[in-house]
Amino acid sequence: MAQPAAVATPPPKAPRRGTATPRRLPYLLIAPAGLLMLGFIAYPVLSVFYYSLQNYNVTKPWRNGFAGLDNFRRIFTEDDQFRSTLAFSAQWVFTQVSLQLVLGLALALIVNQTFIGRGISRAMVFSPWAVSGVLTSTIWILLYNSSTGFSRYLADAGIGEYGTSVLSDTGTVFWAATVTELWRGVPFFAILILADLQSVSKELYEAASVDGAGRLRQFFHITLPHLRDAIILATLLRGVWEFNNVDLLYTLTGGGPAGETTTLPLYVANTGIEGHDFGYASALTTVAFVILLFCSIVYLRLSKFGGDDK
Amino acid sequence: MTALLTEKNGAARRPVHPGGPPPASRRRTGRERAYDDVPRWQIYLPLGLYLLFTLIPFYWMLLFALRPAGSTALVPWPMTGEHFSKVWNERSFAVFFQNSMIVGIATLIATTLVALAGGYALARFDFKIKGAFMLALLCSQFIPGALMLVPLFEIFRNLQMINSLWSVVIAETVFQLPLSIILISGFIKNVPVSLEEAAWVDGCSRFTAFRAVVLPLLRPGLIAVGSFAFVHSWNHFLFALMFLSEQDKQTIPVGLNTLIGADSVDLGALAAGGVIAAVPVVIVFAFIQKWLVTGFSAGAVKG
């Protein structure tokens, strides 16, 4: 992976003025990024760990103070909502990542072919990538609307019935939200895979077809092995992203109906921002972070990322 | 442009001219066609279905935004601008639009400049904490913005920046930085060091050499990174929702959310608001589309 970067030697000329000698220059260059990340990523992360050991509730300041592991005890022994949101998060991430992988791979393979109208098709199928979670929700709320949405026209045509709102029915809300998230998730996956697909050497396919390998065998023996690392990385990043991201579900379902679509981060946001219980929210955050880290490490181990293929 | 970069862009631009002659490098040998000759229906049928899935929602939004309230026609005719003027004037989308523009452009500038410096350091130098810095960049990808809301809120409150657009700009920039640095350093690695060295021999300082030789070659990469930063901060919802509580400081996604949350949802206004939210990103997207795939393959995937 990380190749040693070319060391750019400065030209033999008069000694430089000021502090920007080449020895210090790289540090100077990463300083702005480094300081911003220390201040607004590292420090917040540490303070989350710190708050997780505190009673810290803006509305009940008289109880604030060191709480030890009490927040964590509450999470694991008393909090039923934690368990159900965690279960939903797992279901949500698994469904999204597996469907996005299958559909994104198929889409990438299709638009990697040469055909008439490829450029414009690519632009169109990738376009939801640029659309935000809130805008996605907006669009699909219009589609799902029970009185003027798509279902009304289907009902007019004799399919389904009037007045069904898929977003307020516990039986359908999961799939309604899933389709919505797929709409904007698949293009991103497809873009990542397509980027890697373009570096497969044509000669490999030529050689394979000379040897009489059909398209299916070529796919499983050339394309898929080549894409392996990209797929592992893309699924991992998407998994983390789908776990963390809250804006779609927050605006589409608000976590409802009846908490049916509340993910762990959504629960954290509700506890911390609306419930003002920062200490408990921080403990939940810490638990979510540990779970995420653990799953990522296990995933990378199991998939032998960057390992001994070939 | 050097051969290196034109070749890269050429690969990405090719599909934009589907009718054009096949590039010279593609020899149409019989063997090669054996792979490429997928039956046409296997391309157009799934692609057509997927296009319907992609485009119907967009059409639906336009339909609701353009047809008069109460109409159920499937074609927005007669057309009306009432929903647009309503959200723009009465629902303060004019203000939200301006705020979103400020946040988007400021984030674009800050991210690009800071990431350019960091990316150059990573691409051209070996230094002691380089490994640690790279690790920090990668690890930060795992840290959820949503879960950082509480401490970030605290920080901005202590800095007295709640209800200032700058709090959102800083937060967006920070979360854009890791990926942007990795992307830009990927682009810089693609520019041969020998070009810079030649300029040094000619007496240029490191900075002049960078500005005169490297920077022009980075234009596609910078446009890609800047556009990502703009689109992300334009779209992002949670930071703006949490740090900006005053109505006249809010951004478009927050404005849309208030429309969604309204007691009686005005679908026409909601759709018009959606179109207003979509227009800038659609323009940016059309502009960067040809660099999108190259951008990822140059920077992110190969690291």
Q: What is the DSSP letter of B211?
A: I
Range with the poorest average pLDDT among A46-60, B81-95, B106-120: A46-60
Who among B31, B203, B260 is closest to A141 (CB)?
A: B260
Higher confidence at residue A165 or residue A178?
A: A178
pLDDT recorded at residue B2: 31
Contacts of A57 (CB under 8 A, 6+ apart): A63, A64, A276, A277, A278, A279, A280
State the pLDDT confidence band at B119, using cuts at 50, 70 and 90: very high
* Amino acid B74: pLDDT: 80
Q: Which of B166, B109, B176 is nearest to B137 (CA)?
A: B176
Residue partners of B271: CB distance under 8 A and separation at least 6: A138, A142, B61, B62, B63, B64, B65, B83
Is the CB of residue B50 less than 8 Å away from at least one CB of chain A? yes
- Model pLDDT, residue B295: 63
Q: Using alpha carbons, list the distances in angstroms from residue B223 to A70, A299, A302, B63, B180.
A: 49, 34, 37, 32, 11
Report CA-CA distances (Å) from B192 to A5, B4, B119, B122, B236: 12, 9, 15, 15, 36
Residue B4: which pLDDT band, with cuts at 50, 70 and 90? Answer: very low
Q: What is the ipTM of this complex?
A: 0.82
Better pLDDT: A179 or A233: A179
Which of A1, A106, A265 lies closest to B147 in CB terms?
A: A265
Q: How far apart are alpha carbons B65 and B79 in whole angstroms?
A: 9
Residue B9: pLDDT over 60: no
Tokens 């359908």 locate to: A172
| pLDDT at residue B13 in the model | 39
Q: Is the peptide bond before B39 cis (omega within 30 degrees of 0)?
A: no
- For residue A168, the model assigns a pLDDT of 79
- pLDDT tier, B5 (very low <50, low <70, confident <90, very high otherwise): very low
Q: What are phi and psi of A167, to 5 degrees?
A: -85, -20
Residue A173 and residue A254 in contact, taking contact as beta carbons nearer than 8 Å:
no
Identify all chain B residues contacting A116, using CB atoms and an 8 Å cutoff. 18-19
Burial state string for A17-51 with b = 16 or more CB within 10 A and e = fewer than 16: eeeeeeeebbeebbebbbebbeebbeebbebbeeb
Q: Does B286 touch chain A (CB under 8 A)?
A: yes
Contact A238, A152 (CB under 8 A): no
- Across the range B123-150, mean pLDDT stands at 82
CB atoms within 10 A of CB A163: 9
The confidence score (pLDDT) of residue A275 equals 77
Query: Which residues of chain A neighbour B74 with C-beta distances below 8 Å?
Result: 153
Measured between CB atoms, does A8 come within 8 Å of chain B?
Answer: yes
**8 A C-beta contact, residue B46 and residue A110:** yes
Between positions 147 and 176 of A, the ones with CB within 8 A of B are: 148, 150, 152-153
Cis geometry, peptide bond prior to residue A11 (ω within 30 degrees of 0): no
pLDDT digits (tens, 9 = 90+) for B21-61: 444 444 444 444 444 567 888 889 999 999 999 999 999 99
**Rounded to an integer, what distance in angstroms lies between the CA atom of residue B253 and that of residue B47?**
31
- Annotate chain A with three-state secondary structure: CCCCCCCCCCCCCCCCCCCCCCCCHHHHHHHHHHHHHHHHHHHHHHHHHHHCCEECECCCHHHCEECCCHHHHHHHHCCHHHHHHHHHHHHHHHHHHHHHHHHHHHHHHHHCCCCCCHHHHHHHHHHHHHCCHHHHHHHHHHHHCCCCCHHHHHHHCCCCCCCCCCCCCCCCHHHHHHHHHHHHHHHHHHHHHHHHHCCCCHHHHHHHHHCCCCHHHHHHHHHHHHHHHHHHHHHHHHHHHHHHCCHHHHHHCCCCCCCCCCCHHHHHHHHHHHCCEHHHHHHHHHHHHHHHHHHHHHHHHHHCCCCCCC
> Which of B54, B83, B214 to mutate against chain A (most A CBs within 10 Å)?
B54
pLDDT score for A203: 82
Contact A164, A151 (CB under 8 A): yes
pLDDT recorded at residue B301? 41
CB-CB under 8 Å, A111 with B47: yes
pLDDT at B19: 44
**Using the beta-carbon criterion (under 8 Å), do A233 and B301 form an inter-chain contact?**
yes
pLDDT band at A158 (very low <50, low <70, confident <90, very high): low
C-alpha B271/C-alpha B58 separation (Å) is 10
How many cross-chain Cβ pairs, A to B, lie less than 8 Å apart?
Answer: 311
Contacts of A211 (CB under 8 A, 6+ apart): none
Question: Which of A6, A22, A124 is closest, CB to CB, to B193?
Answer: A6
Query: At CA B42, angle to CA A176 and CA B20, rounded to 5?
Result: 110
pLDDT of residue B294: 67
User: Which chain B residues are within 8 Å of A33, Cβ to Cβ?
Assistant: 114-115, 117-118, 177, 181
* B101, pLDDT greater than 80: yes
Chain B from 191 to 250: CB within 8 A of any A CB: 193, 196-197, 200-201, 203, 206, 231, 234-238, 242
pLDDT tens readout for residues A183-219: 989 998 898 888 888 877 778 888 888 888 788 888 8
Instruction: Name the residue among A132, A198, A237 with its Cβ closest to that of B237.
Output: A132
Q: What is the mean pLDDT of chain B?
A: 81
CB-CB under 8 Å, B265 with A141: yes
- Which tokens in the block code for residue B27? 């020899």
pLDDT at B223: 86
Q: Is A56 left (phi over 0), alpha (psi -120 to 50) or beta?
A: beta
How would you classify the pairing of strands A65-66 and A54-55?
antiparallel
Contact flag A36-B289 (C-beta cutoff 8 Å): no
Tokens of A263: 């993910």
Q: Closest Cα of chain A to B9: distance in Å?
A: 13
What distance in Å separates residue B293's CA from the closest CA in chain A? 5
Q: How far apart are CA A157 and CA A228, in angstroms?
A: 45
**The pLDDT of residue A87:** 93
Q: pLDDT tens across A92-105, in order?
A: 999 999 999 999 99
Tens of pLDDT, residue by residue over A233-262, are: 889 888 988 998 888 898 888 887 888 889
Q: What is the pLDDT of residue B102?
A: 95
Query: How large is the average pLDDT for residues B266-276?
Result: 90
pLDDT (mean) for B180-194: 87
Q: In this structure, are residues A197 and A105 in contact, taking their beta carbons and an 8 Å threshold?
A: no
Residue in B closest to A264 by C-alpha: B147
Residue B44 burial (CB count, 10 A)? 16
> Taking CB atoms and an 8 Å cutoff, what residues of chain A touch B44?
115
What pLDDT sits at residue A256?
77
Of B296, B186, B174, the C-alpha closest to B239 is: B174
Whether residue A2 has pLDDT greater than 80: no
Q: In the structure, what pLDDT confidence band is assigned to residue A3 with cuts at 50, 70 and 90?
A: very low
pLDDT above 90 (res B114): yes
Neighbours of B197 (CB within 10 A): 16
Looking at residue B18, what is its pLDDT?
Answer: 44
Nearest to B31 among A34, A206, A288 (CB): A206
Q: How far apart are CA B57 and CA A141, in angstroms?
A: 10
- Whether B89 shows a pLDDT value over 60: the answer reads yes
Residue in A126, A112, A110 with CA at minimum distance from that of residue B46:
A110
The pLDDT value recorded for residue B121 is: 92
Residue B214 predicted with pLDDT over 70: yes
Q: What is the pLDDT of residues A7-62, one digit of tens each?
A: 555 555 444 444 445 778 889 999 999 999 999 999 998 988 888 888 888 777 77
Residue A126 confidence class, pLDDT cut points 50, 70, 90: confident
The residue ranking higher by pLDDT, A100 or B299, is A100
In 3D, which of A51, A301, A127, A192 has the Cα closest to residue B299?
A192
Tell the residue number behind the tokens 């682009």, with chain if given.
Answer: B187
Mean pLDDT value of segment B271-279: 92
